[in-house]
Amino acid sequence: MFSVFRNKTDLPSNLEFEQIILELPEEQRSIDRDKTDLIIGVPQTEHNGYKVLDGIPRECTSVSILLGGKSLHILEALVKSGLPHQLRSICIGHCDYTPPGSSFNYEKAIEILSGTSFPLLEHLSLGIDELYCNRDGWAPSLLGDLTSLLESLHSVESLVIHGNFRLDRPILFKRLRNLEIITSDGEPLTSKTHDNLLTSGFSVLEDAWLSLGGSNISSYTFPDIFINAENLPHIKRLEIDGMYSCGQLKRFRESKLCNKSGIKVFSEELEENLNDSSC
């Protein structure tokens, strides 16, 4: 059995995380062939090639916890271990194998992650509904306030957010190159969160998929800094959909962002709120 800890002062925290993992049923704890990706909540099959996890490998750089909202004790042990200092990828969410009746509220999980330093983290996925079997639809997640967590992640290059969340202020993403955001149907972001997201600093962002939802009750307006591409100097591909106020589609399609050379824009799913009194 391998251990991720190299000095005795770290040993108690190591053992706590490993013990909690080993208490899970074998079909809920897996490791990939390279012993770098620890997967909690997904059984081993011939298709995925996973093996039963019987110890935390020293070379582990990725953790996926797909147990829904019932993973708080695992996260609490994880952040007290030595793994946060070497992890390059974290995925928190659920999947086809998540126990029935599980909560998809991740607000407490986000709070736990927010108080931890992940100096090498390059990829973060939150609220993911991983598909391992054929099925219809997906289970939406509630993520809560992501402001502090995202502000603390200086090395993240790829960010995936599935579900509803809040941003209290714009974020400066220094290394982010790929962004995917899919909100839950029927539960749009607040206008404040929408605006804080689209006015964030994306100095090296190249590829973005923004499925922002909206409704006839709540519709968005594009911030000037966004449609003028002032905060997107290196964007190459943008796919965006959502419900916007009357006149916003024309404004977007005539904007510098939409007509910037070297960028592919997919906006066919953008909608205007026909109930807007200004239409």
Q: Are residues 39 and 137 in the same domain?
A: yes
Residue 19 lies in a domain: no
Q: Are residues 130 and 63 in the same domain?
A: yes
- In this structure, are strands 123-130 and 51-52 parallel, antiparallel, or unpaired? unpaired
Q: Which of 151, 182, 210 is the last residue of a domain?
A: 151
Task: Quote the number of domains for the chain.
Answer: 2
| DSSP conformation class of 200 | S
Other Cβ atoms closer than 10 A to 260 = 16
Query: For residue 86, what are the domain limits?
Result: 31-151
Q: What is the pLDDT along the chain (279 residues), one digit of tens a residue?
A: 444 444 444 433 668 899 999 999 999 999 998 889 999 988 887 778 889 999 998 889 999 999 888 889 999 999 999 999 999 999 999 887 777 667 889 999 999 999 899 999 999 999 988 755 554 556 678 999 999 999 999 999 999 999 999 999 999 999 999 999 999 766 779 999 999 999 999 999 999 999 998 766 668 999 999 999 999 999 999 999 999 998 999 999 999 999 998 999 999 889 987 766 665
Residue 215 lies in a domain: yes
**In sequence order, what are the residues at sequence separation of 6 or more whose Cβ sits closer than 8 angstroms to the Cβ of residue 15?**
none
Q: Are residues 84 and 139 in the same domain?
A: yes
Q: Are residues 141 and 175 in the same domain?
A: no
Residue 25 lies in a domain: no
pTM: 0.90
| DSSP conformation class of 229 | T
Other Cβ atoms closer than 10 A to 109 = 24
